[in-house]
Structure 1
């Protein structure tokens, strides 16, 4: 399993996930830069993603939805804040409605994705920062940790294929 550590800090309003992948930094970053590749690993296996708009450049909005086992769709978006290819990027991440518009009543976060070379591959560090401890607790209660572990668990197999 690629996830090696998960730290939840309600005082700092963050969740930090560290994972290691058996591929170079450029290859791991490339998954996030290409919507067709990202669809293979974003979201847990039971809720595959479809990216509708994807342009990993600062100022752009990336939109997607995940489809559940019964066909239900859950929208999301990323507002791209910065990109430092292939070392990482930062986005504002939120929930979206059926038309992929932001749902302001749901929690949003600022997410930093960082990739660094390690012996034999890449260490990825994902830090999600929430505006309130309640917002962080809400997504934890929704299963964000379990979903992230399941999604990231698909990356090594995808890279090996």
Structure 2
């Protein structure tokens, strides 16, 4: 557990602040907070389980869920999202259901890269110091927050292993200027001609190159099979960097693409971080040569322009 930052003076007496560093990339930690498939495995203090009914992570969206206590009691909860800045920040209001005594507070969760790890800070602000003390006393909120982040650490460690156990890095010097190489990816009319291993063709249905935008395509294999893919862009810095989360169909990973100018040439680097070491082990023997073929096709495409 790391030391938390000093809270603002005007809310210090009504805050609960919990901080922890995670040995996982920021995009993955953020996904663990915003994907129901992840969150049901770790949310809540020790002994609790969670059933999610609705999880709509966007400003104005809600997460409605039931926490099942180790004593058999159910605790309905409702979170309303106010801000979603992927993958840096979540802001939400928490409110219990009306049939129970409500626990209302405002939470800001930040995700910060620190020395190759991700620091998560939860800052819950209550309406008054008395309400903060009541929740801490009656619900064990301070210990509960610490236990919740400890469970998240266990979930990430158990499902992912270390980052090096599930990362594929491929790099190539491309004989073209940085802007041209970046546009070969950024322009779907070019991208469709070279994306994928040898023998693949592409139909790009949606390509929204901005944070939060969707990339949806169907890859047509040389065997005649179609492979639907869907990703969400999380970072875009023209013409240096793109990060996206590949979510469908099966292989879940984060891709970081960097375009570094080296004179009139460009060093293109792809860093793929898979959600689990077991998933990485299944695909690495295919992905490594496939990425090299992808680079070959890109180089050929640019040479033909």
Instruction: Report if TM-score (shorter chain) is over 0.5.
Output: yes
Give me the TM-score of the superposition, normalised by structure 1: 0.87
Q: 1:128 aligns with which of 115, 124, 127?
A: 124
CA distances 1:112-161 after superposition (whole Å, capped 9, x unpaired): 00001011210111100111111111111120111111111112221122
Q: Whose relative contact order is higher, 1 or 2, with alpha carbons under 8 Å and at least 6 apart?
A: 1
Provide the rounded CA distance (Å) in 1 between the counterparts of 2:108 and 2:62: 16
| 3-state SS of paired residue (1:125) | strand
**Structure with a larger share of its residues in helix:** 2
Q: What's the counterpart of residue 5 of structure 1?
A: 3
Asked if structure 2 preserves the Cα contact closer than 8 Å seen for 1:87 and 1:116, the reply is: yes
Q: What's the counterpart of residue 107 of structure 1?
A: 103
If you compute each CA radius of gyration, which structure gives the higher value, 1 or 2?
2
Q: What's the counterpart of residue 75 of structure 1?
A: 76
Q: What's the counterpart of residue 31 of structure 1?
A: 32
Matched, 1:57 2:58: yes
Matched, 1:158 2:155: yes
Provide the rounded CA distance (Å) in 1 between the counterparts of 2:149 and 2:61: 24
Query: Offset at 1:40?
Result: 1.0
Provide the rounded CA distance (Å) in 2 between the counterparts of 1:73 and 1:107: 15
Q: What's the counterpart of residue 146 of structure 1?
A: 143
Structure 1 segments unaligned to the other structure (5+ residues): none
Q: 1:118 aligns with which of 114, 138, 149?
A: 114
Query: Offset at 1:4?
Result: 2.3
CA-based RMSD of the aligned residues comes to 2.0
| 3-state SS of paired residue (2:2) | strand
Greater CA deviation, 12-21 or 111-120? 12-21
Aligned residue-pair number? 154
Provide the rounded CA distance (Å) in 2 between the counterparts of 1:154 and 1:33: 16
Asked if structure 2 preserves the Cα contact closer than 8 Å seen for 1:74 and 1:97, the reply is: no
Greater CA deviation, 81-90 or 43-52? 43-52
Query: Offset at 1:11?
Result: 5.0
| 3-state SS of paired residue (2:103) | coil
Query: Offset at 1:71?
Result: 2.3
Cα distance change of structure 1 residues 67 and 97 upon mapping to structure 2, 3 Å threshold: farther
| 3-state SS of paired residue (1:122) | strand
